[in-house]
């Protein structure tokens, strides 16, 4: 039994040697890691300039203007009226985009009635009702008619302005190609 205890006996030398070995290995690992994280380069002759993507819109009633909205306006509307509108998209920036996403919204403005009061259909929800009354028969981008892909999202039997704003048509209106090319390229959007 005394032979077994001699073999397992840990001396201070063995303990100090083991700690020293672990310390040296850790120090070498730390130095090599520090060298990896600590690399410096310098140059005085380089510069980086970011490109731009600047979408400019214009329609038949307005001149070119920076912004990302165009407007179709129908005044004094009555049943049977037809509206056709073009919007030109121009990329005045230096970078090419990879697609165009369209989003539609609508608003209703009504003049005062003869007695000076706004009529009842100017309530906040009346714009929704009016948008369902104006049928869309054509929607083209870059000469491609995307109208057949628009669904009757509100189920009223016709494709209308309200359908263009519905989330159900997002996949048709997102990812349109080709986008206007950089440095003045244009594409056309037509609604009728």
- Judged by DSSP in three states, 7 sits in helix
* pLDDT tens digits, one per residue of 70-108: 666 667 776 667 778 888 888 888 888 888 888 888 777
Tell me if the pTM is above 0.75: no
The Cα 183–Cα 119 span in angstroms is 48
Q: Which two tokens stand for residue 165?
A: 């704003």
The Cα 147–Cα 150 span in angstroms is 5
Q: How many CA atoms lie within 13 A of 76 on its CB side?
A: 0
In a shared domain, residues 61 and 106: yes
Q: Which two tokens stand for residue 137?
A: 């028969």
Going by C-alpha positions, the residue among 141, 52, 139, 136 that lies closest to residue 88 is: 141
Q: What is the mean pLDDT of the chain?
A: 74
Question: What total of structural domains would you count in the chain?
Answer: 2
Q: Select, from the ranges 40-49, 52-61, 88-97, the one with the highest average predicted confidence (pLDDT).
A: 88-97
Asked whether residue 122 carries a pLDDT value surpassing 50, the answer given is no
Q: What are the start-end ranges of the H helices in the chain?
A: 2-7, 12-37, 126-131, 161-165, 170-173
Beta strand 85-91 pairing with 185-191: antiparallel
Q: Is 94 domain-assigned?
A: yes
The Cα 65–Cα 3 span in angstroms is 96
Q: Is 43 domain-assigned?
A: no
Asked whether residue 171 carries a pLDDT value surpassing 70, the answer given is yes
Least confident of 67-71, 80-84, 130-134: 67-71
In a shared domain, residues 155 and 69: yes
In a shared domain, residues 18 and 97: no
Mean pLDDT of 23-38: 58
In a shared domain, residues 10 and 85: no
Q: Residues of the chain with pLDDT > 70: what percent?
A: 60
Going by C-alpha positions, the residue among 109, 102, 110 that lies closest to residue 70 is: 102
């Amino acid at each position: 039994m005394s032979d077994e205890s001699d073999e397992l006996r840990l001396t201070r030398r063995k303990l100090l040697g083991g700690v020293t070995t672990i310390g040296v290995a850790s120090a070498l690992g730390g130095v090599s890691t520090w060298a990896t994280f600590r690399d410096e380069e310098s140059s005085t002759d380089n510069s980086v300039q970011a490109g731009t993507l600047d979408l400019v819109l214009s329609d038949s009633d307005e001149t070119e203007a920076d912004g990302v909205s165009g407007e179709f306006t129908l005044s004094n509307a009555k049943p049977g009226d037809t509206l056709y509108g073009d919007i030109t998209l121009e990329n005045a920036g230096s970078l090419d985009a990879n697609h165009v996403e369209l989003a539609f919204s609508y608003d209703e403005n009504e003049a005062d009635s003869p007695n000076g009061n706004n009529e009842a259909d100017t309530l906040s929800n009346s714009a929704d009702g009016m948008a369902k009354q104006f049928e869309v028969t054509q929607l083209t981008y870059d000469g491609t008619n995307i109208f057949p892909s628009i669904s009757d999202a509100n189920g009223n039997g016709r494709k209308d302005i309200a359908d263009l704003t519905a989330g159900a048509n997002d996949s048709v209106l997102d990812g349109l190609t080709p986008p206007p090319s950089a440095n003045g390229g244009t594409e056309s959007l037509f609604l009728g």
